[in-house]
Chains A and B, each alone.
Chain A
């Protein structure tokens, strides 16, 4: 295995290190990101390499931390805030939603907030309902925020560097199960950028278009590999950023396959991928659909604790395989 098959934690750390080397105004702040190295080990040794000013441990004070980052961003710095669990963004919501997202617009463009908020998201660690949510849809519904969901180490590094470059607030949702999974492709050295707002078609198949986010991209590819053996060919599209959202590859694919499935971990009701369905329903590829759209999402419940309950709460690879097989078989 190549030594460039990094984990997502390593890739994110590399991106932050490159950004701090490139720009003196980049710094990181958050809870236990210093000597501890971050609750999920993402900041790792950065504290020792860049010092306590630029890898700044904070009290447990999410509203204060995000607010301070907003003020610093307004004043010439480029802060990266690490929120230990995305659930804790609820503690900081005023600064994210009412301040960071709106300042540039409200004041007539004279100020801007180049802030990245990284947060560990998603279920699968047995941490139960207050440490396992997928809240990206909240942020996607707030004009003024960009929302990124990396699905692999390669994506994570290039997207994080673009997020840090961006002059606007960016919410960066990292699925915690992806932190330690080796990537499916090498992570290039150096500071490559993946632009925000460009979907990626990860594989092309003639039977079904699957749009998935975050860890569901990983699961959708696993499902596609399994279905390939049965002769069912899936296209898998990762939007990578849900705000802004690049729909063109989805339309183009639906025109070819005639079938659409969306997969997300967040609860179905009011979930973001419903927006993808709505756009297809009102967009140029509607007439190509030959099957009802399939929606796989988390159950409309808080994430439960016990392993079998937790697994049941969100789509798993066999669920994707089964749903894909059925829609292709039943609608021809």
Chain B
């Protein structure tokens, strides 16, 4: 199993936490790079949405959660899945259309869910997961579970009706849910300047009577701290929080993207704000990790991803024979 135990706590709270935060971000980066490579070699069907450059928000958020807390994710969901603790082999296997993949090859990249780690799934529909997270939080409240649900979504999702309806329900019922917007500046090619008439997307919290906070989404510690406040509020029964993590995707929206809507200079500027390099800088300064340890963590991440790819490649392809029986869950007699 490639799953590493989930660590809850501040990324700078201890050497182990710092190591875990860096390893998680590195695993996401290496995973995405491996996926891009597999696509480039024509080994993966369909499309892909890479989250390179956005590794801090899933990592910081999930370090503020327990394994029983739930998340919903997006089409750009590999990072959330990894940060919540998913098995890399089963993820790669899904992309390769293998029977051992999370969806048995039936869902692909945009539909990976992992019940064991509370991941209710990525989603191919923009904002589709937000009402679902609100419903998960409703179940938590009604069943007194004490769990919170986090819905990850992009800036584009905030102009969908689903966001508004879900935010309102969460607010009126004071549900333990966190609305985690990863504002990476573009909904496919539409810049936030074209799509919004407000400066900070978190201002929309006001419309629902809930706190809204904008912060540096490339600073894993800041992400963790804001999430921790929101988690405490949620567990205390005080209701939802809207968090806006300002970040940037280095790669195109998907395979077809030629980056015609933004400049190379802009992309290069954001690469200087690399969340992984920034975190390395912080942990060095705080003497939590040495250069050698940092190098060893990246190597471990690389080795884990390579091992996952190799194992997934060897796995049996998904079998069409089971398709009809997979539509419904069997009614127990």
How far apart are the CA atoms of A74 and B165 in the complex, in Å? 19
A126 an interface residue at 8 Å Cβ cutoff? Answer: no
CB distance from B76 to the nearest CB of A (A): 17
How far apart are the CA atoms of A25 and B138 in the complex, in Å? 12
Collect the chain B residues with CB atoms within 8 Å of residue A66's CB.
131
Q: How many A-B residue pairs have CB under 8 A?
A: 154
Check A99/B125 contact, CB under 8 A, given A73-B135, A104-B329, A107-B102.
yes
Check A64/B162 contact, CB under 8 A, given A71-B149, A76-B139, A107-B113.
yes
Collect the chain A residues with CB atoms within 8 Å of residue B226's CB.
none
Q: Across the interface, do A111 and B135 meet the contact criterion of CB distance under 8 Å?
A: no
Q: Across the interface, do B329 and A94 meet the contact criterion of CB distance under 8 Å?
A: no
CB distance from A205 to the nearest CB of B (A): 33
How far apart are the CA atoms of A59 and B112 in the complex, in Å? 31
Pick from A25, A59, A71, A144: contact of B135, CB below 8 A.
Answer: A71
Check A111/B138 contact, CB under 8 A, given A63-B161, A104-B327.
no
Pick from A59, A72, A94, A143: contact of B139, CB below 8 A.
Answer: A72
Q: By the criterion of a CB under 8 Å from any partner CB, how many residues of chain B are at the interface?
A: 47
Of the 9-residue stretches A132-140, A164-172, A316-324, which lies at the interface with chain B?
A164-172
B121 an interface residue at 8 Å Cβ cutoff? Answer: yes
How far apart are the CA atoms of A166 and B328 in the complex, in Å? 10
A154 an interface residue at 8 Å Cβ cutoff? Answer: no
How far apart are the CA atoms of A69 and B137 in the complex, in Å? 11
- 0/1 interface trace, chain A 78-113, chain B, CB 8 Å (1 if under): 010000000000000011001100011111111110
Collect the chain A residues with CB atoms within 8 Å of residue B123's CB.
99
Q: Across the interface, do A77 and B166 meet the contact criterion of CB distance under 8 Å?
A: no
How far apart are the CA atoms of A77 and B175 in the complex, in Å? 15
Q: Across the interface, do A108 and B102 meet the contact criterion of CB distance under 8 Å?
A: yes
Collect the chain A residues with CB atoms within 8 Å of residue B133's CB.
71
Collect the chain A residues with CB atoms within 8 Å of residue B172's CB.
59
Q: Across the interface, do B169 and A64 meet the contact criterion of CB distance under 8 Å?
A: yes
A19 an interface residue at 8 Å Cβ cutoff? Answer: no
A70 an interface residue at 8 Å Cβ cutoff? Answer: yes
Q: Across the interface, do A143 and B166 meet the contact criterion of CB distance under 8 Å?
A: no
Q: Across the interface, do A27 and B121 meet the contact criterion of CB distance under 8 Å?
A: no
Collect the chain A residues with CB atoms within 8 Å of residue B140's CB.
75
A53 an interface residue at 8 Å Cβ cutoff? Answer: yes
Q: Across the interface, do A109 and B326 meet the contact criterion of CB distance under 8 Å?
A: yes
B241 an interface residue at 8 Å Cβ cutoff? Answer: no
Collect the chain B residues with CB atoms within 8 Å of residue A70's CB.
131-132, 135
Check A108/B101 contact, CB under 8 A, given A61-B168, A64-B165, A103-B121.
yes
CB distance from B315 to the nearest CB of A (A): 13
B317 an interface residue at 8 Å Cβ cutoff? Answer: no
A38 an interface residue at 8 Å Cβ cutoff? Answer: no
Collect the chain B residues with CB atoms within 8 Å of residue A167's CB.
328-332
B275 an interface residue at 8 Å Cβ cutoff? Answer: no
Pick from B124, B142, B328: contact of A53, CB below 8 A.
Answer: B142
Q: Across the interface, do A104 and B328 meet the contact criterion of CB distance under 8 Å?
A: yes
Q: Across the interface, do B165 and A76 meet the contact criterion of CB distance under 8 Å?
A: no
A58 an interface residue at 8 Å Cβ cutoff? Answer: yes
CB distance from A258 to the nearest CB of B (A): 32
Of the 9-residue stretches B23-31, B103-111, B211-219, B283-291, which lies at the interface with chain A?
B103-111
How far apart are the CA atoms of A74 and B133 in the complex, in Å? 10
How far apart are the CA atoms of A75 and B120 in the complex, in Å? 9
Q: Across the interface, do A98 and B128 meet the contact criterion of CB distance under 8 Å?
A: yes
B70 an interface residue at 8 Å Cβ cutoff? Answer: yes
Pick from B112, B130, B132: contact of A74, CB below 8 A.
Answer: B132
Collect the chain B residues with CB atoms within 8 Å of residue A73's CB.
135
- 0/1 interface trace, chain B 76-100, chain A, CB 8 Å (1 if under): 0000000000000000000000000
Collect the chain B residues with CB atoms within 8 Å of residue A79's CB.
135
Check A77/B139 contact, CB under 8 A, given A108-B106, A109-B329.
yes
How far apart are the CA atoms of A66 and B161 in the complex, in Å? 13
Q: Across the interface, do B131 and A64 meet the contact criterion of CB distance under 8 Å?
A: yes
- 0/1 interface trace, chain A 16-28, chain B, CB 8 Å (1 if under): 0000000001010
Q: Across the interface, do B326 and A105 meet the contact criterion of CB distance under 8 Å?
A: yes
A67 an interface residue at 8 Å Cβ cutoff? Answer: yes
A299 an interface residue at 8 Å Cβ cutoff? Answer: no
Collect the chain A residues with CB atoms within 8 Å of residue B106's CB.
105-106, 108
Q: Across the interface, do A77 and B142 meet the contact criterion of CB distance under 8 Å?
A: yes
A68 an interface residue at 8 Å Cβ cutoff? Answer: yes
B292 an interface residue at 8 Å Cβ cutoff? Answer: no
Collect the chain B residues with CB atoms within 8 Å of residue A196's CB.
331
CB distance from B130 to the nearest CB of A (A): 7
- 0/1 interface trace, chain A 128-171, chain B, CB 8 Å (1 if under): 00000000000000011010000000000000000001111000
Q: Across the interface, do A25 and B143 meet the contact criterion of CB distance under 8 Å?
A: yes
CB distance from B266 to the nearest CB of A (A): 32
Given A64-B169, A109-B329, 7 other A-B residues pairs in contact with their CB atoms under 8 A? A67-B165, A71-B131, A74-B135, A76-B143, A103-B121, A104-B329, A106-B106
Using a CB–CB cutoff of 8 Å, the interface residues on chain B facing chain A are: 70, 72, 101-104, 106-107, 111-115, 120-121, 123-125, 128, 130-140, 142-143, 149, 161-162, 165-166, 168-169, 172, 326-332
Using a CB–CB cutoff of 8 Å, the interface residues on chain A facing chain B are: 25, 27, 53, 58-59, 61, 63-77, 79, 94-95, 98-99, 103-112, 143-144, 146, 165-168, 196
Chosen A-B contacts, 8 in total, with CB atoms closer than 8 Å, are: A65-B169, A68-B166, A71-B138, A74-B139, A94-B162, A95-B162, A105-B326, A109-B326
